[in-house]
Amino acid sequence: MGATAGVAPPSGSATPLEKPNVDTVEEAPVRATADGHKADAAAELLRKAGAAVEGGRIVVSAADDKRVLRRIDMVILPILLTVYFLQALDKATLAYASVFGLIADTGLVGDQYSWLGSIVYLAQLVMQPLLAWLLVKFPIGKFSATMVFCWGATLSAMVAAHNFPGLLVARLFLGVFEASIAPAFIAVTAMWWRRREQTVRIASWYAMNGITNMFGSLITFGLGHVSSDKLHSYQIIFLFFGIITVAFSFVMYMFMPDSPMEAKFLKDEDKLIAVERLRMNQMGVMTREWRWDHAKEAFFDIKTWFWFAMLFSISIPSGGISTFGPLIVQSFGFDSFSTILFNIPFGAVQIVATVGGAWVATKIKRKGPVIAGLCVPPIVGCIILMVMPRTPDHRAAMLVGYYLISVYPGITPLIYSWSTQNTGGDTKRKCVNAILFVGQSVGNVVGPLLYTVAESPYYSRGLRSNLSLYIVIVILVCLTSVYLHFLNKRHSRRRVELGKSAVVYDASLDSAEEVERRRAAAAANGETAADSEETGDRAFENLTDLKNEEFVFVF
């Protein structure tokens, strides 16, 4: 390695050991914690490396931190980006197909089209409790690749659906297989990146929704011009995207590792760095042991339900707009092809809002204020569409309103990130994700049902409900921030009672250079890790955030 990576004793000294001889985690004997449960796999890796001193840790330089981070970004992130792009494409195919004759050709009437949008999320809702268990027990990379293959095959098979029952069954299974992707990706993000890095990474793969609205619209525009005697335009769309998804599932199976400890693209010493980077997250990495005490705490934790309410509230507008967005634009008086093209800027605004919001949240080390700020443009957009007459001379203003609404996707990944970064314990984290995605799924089921084709061109009921929910999100952000402040105060009191420092320095939100500078300054002043209020001794004990008094809640 460039800079040394070794084991430092609790005194804070940085004397490195020789290059460690680390085998894979599967070859390591499973050790139990003091309470009889499995130790975190990261703790096993460090133990085998020789970090047997209580409180011992690997000393990671800023240069090594950057090098390993770059390697992780080059291998893991492209897989996440591609899969989420394909998932967004697959879900968007229904909206694209709607402007190419799907409704008329398959004889959809009443709210049947709305139910085709909702059934995907209803299936995801039902799957979440099972997925929480599966994501703890199964290798996450291989499991996710299998789900990608299944949903691609299902989308391809939608070509054979010629009526409402056939389409409904296909969309049901599409939801079943897609249900694991976002929860799995949140778990993967927490497993590979520090808290400072997670927000932008989650936003990056979630921003693929915007890429989909741009390039998916262009691809669909081209596919819509393909003529076939045997297939309708929308069937060609289903088949094209389905085959691509199936093909990429094999790529994911080959290159997506199940954890940092099992990553073939990292050398043994780089695995140590990858794990040590995560220490200050205080969240652990992976155990593959289901713990009912974690599940119970997830259910009774108040902040779980704050984020559930937030995700439910943003998912109602999301479900409605994702299903009816092209039809709303078409109601402005555009033909099918113009509708698809005018949906491209919608995607561009999504990307800017999603990545820009994550960048701001990372810089200010706060997510609540950014979420509240991102609610303002959609509020204005809803008002514009509610009051603007649907006449040709108002098309520009209506498009502006529609594009302002498209800022809302930036909110969802910040809620994901906010929740993940405030949840410790392997099983608890998966359970909280499941609860949140139940809320998201319910919201996405309800969302399309608030819009109906019969209410065209104003869609008043849907827009009014969306406006109200953006305001609710702002209120929930305030309540959640107050509660997190209370939890930090409570942990501070517990630390004092245990004879520890009342203040804990949260290095997980700092850059590698900031951490290195702070440690160098502390060493120059003769301070130990404890003196500088930096800890992490209990990071890999698989403790929940409420049980670990060293856990710092972030706003």
DSSP per-residue codes, 226-271? ---SSS-HHHHHHHHHHHHHHHHHHHHHHH--SSGGG-TTS-HHHH
Cα separation values, 509 from 212, 362, 512, 553, Å: 31, 8, 9, 11
Cα 119 from chain centroid?
21
The pLDDT value given to residue 533:
59
pLDDT tens by residue, 339-373: 878 878 888 899 999 999 999 999 999 999 999 99
* Rounded Cα distance, 386 and 401, in Å: 9
Name the DSSP class of 59: -
| pLDDT value, residue 10 | 37
Instruction: Report which of residues 9 and 489 the model is more confident about.
Output: 489
The Cα 285–Cα 191 span in angstroms is 5
What's the pLDDT at 100? Answer: 80
As a CATH number, domain 64-267+286-487 is: 1.20.1250.20
User: Which residues are CB-neighbours of 520 under 8 A, at least 6 positions away?
Assistant: none
Nearest to 72 by CA among 282, 315, 267, 310: 267
The pTM of the full predicted model, rounded to 2 decimals, is 0.88
Q: Who has greater pLDDT, 234 or 260? A: 260
Q: Is the pLDDT of residue 7 over 60?
A: no
Closest CA to 371 of 443, 448, 311: 311
Task: Read off the pLDDT band of 529 (50, 70, 90).
Answer: low
Query: What is 111-130 written as a DSSP string?
Result: THHHHHHHHHHHHHHHHHHH
Distance separating alpha carbons of residues 440 and 308, to the nearest angstrom: 8
- For residue 44, what pLDDT band results from cuts at 50, 70 and 90? confident
Closest CA to 279 of 472, 76, 536: 536
Strand segments (E) across 38-137: 57-58
Residue 216 dihedral angles phi and psi, to the nearest 5°: -60, -40
Give the least confident one: 128-132, 150-154, 211-215, 501-505: 211-215
More confidently predicted of 263 and 539: 263
- pLDDT surpasses 80 at 18: no
pLDDT of residue 243: 95
Tokens representing residue 324 in the block: 């009816």
pLDDT tier at 305, thresholds 50, 70, 90: very high
Choose between 537 and 195: higher pLDDT: 195
CB under 8 Å to 336, separation ≥6 — which residues? 99, 100, 224, 330
Instruction: Tell me which H or E stretch contains 477.
Output: helix 460-497
Q: What are the extents of the domains in the chain? A: 1-59, 64-267+286-487
Contact, 356 vs 508, CB < 8 A? no
Nearest to 26 by CA among 276, 282, 270, 264: 264
Fill in the amino acid letter for 126.
Answer: V
Q: How confident is the model at residue 475 (pLDDT cuts 50, 70, 90)?
A: very high
Inter-axis angle of helices 164-178 and 140-157, to 10 degrees? 170
Region 494-521: what's the mean pLDDT?
A: 87
Do the Cβ atoms of 255 and 75 come closer than 8 Å? yes
96-136 residue pLDDT tens: 787 788 888 889 988 888 788 778 888 999 999 999 999 99
- Give the Cα separation of 421 and 554 in Å (integer): 7
Three-state secondary structure call for residue 157: helix
Locus of tokens 């262009």: 218
Segment holding 57, helix H or strand E: strand 57-58
Residue in the block written with tokens 């517990």: 494
What 8-state DSSP symbol labels residue 215?
Answer: I
Residues paired with 505 in a beta bridge = 534
Count the residues in the chain.
Answer: 555
- Mean pLDDT for 381-394 is 93
Whether the upstream peptide bond of residue 10 has omega within 30° of 0, thus cis, is no
Closest CA to 507 of 371, 355, 303, 365: 365
Residues 6+ apart with CB under 8 A from 232: 100, 101, 102, 105
- Specify the DSSP class assigned to residue 308: H
Q: Which residue has the higher pLDDT, 251 or 225?
A: 251
For the ranges 16-25, 44-53, 248-257, 314-323, the lowest mean pLDDT is seen at: 16-25
- Quote the tokens at residue 392: 């040709």
**pLDDT bucket at 537, cuts 50 / 70 / 90:** confident
Confidence band, pLDDT 50/70/90 cuts, at residue 322: confident
**Cβ count within 10 A of residue 293:** 14
Query: How many CB atoms neighbour CB 471 within 10 A?
Result: 12
Q: Pick the range with the lowest mean pLDDT from 73-87, 302-316, 534-548.
A: 534-548
Q: How does DSSP classify residue 524?
A: H
* pLDDT value at residue 26: 42
Residue 140 sits at the vertex; the CA angle it makes with 138 and 145, to the nearest 5 degrees, is 110
Residue 135, classed as helix, strand or coil, is: helix
% pLDDT > 70, the chain: 90
Mean pLDDT computed over 184-188: 96
- CA-based radius of gyration for the chain: 24
Return the DSSP state at 390.
Answer: -
* pLDDT value, residue 335: 83
| 11 or 33: which leads in pLDDT | 33
CA distance 428 to 418: 15
Model confidence at 16, pLDDT cuts 50, 70, 90, reads very low
| pLDDT score of 456 | 87
Average pLDDT value over all residues in the chain: 87
pLDDT at 23 over 60: no
Please state the φ and ψ torsions of residue 8, each to the nearest 5 degrees.
-110, 135
User: Which residues make beta-bridge pairs with 534?
Assistant: 505
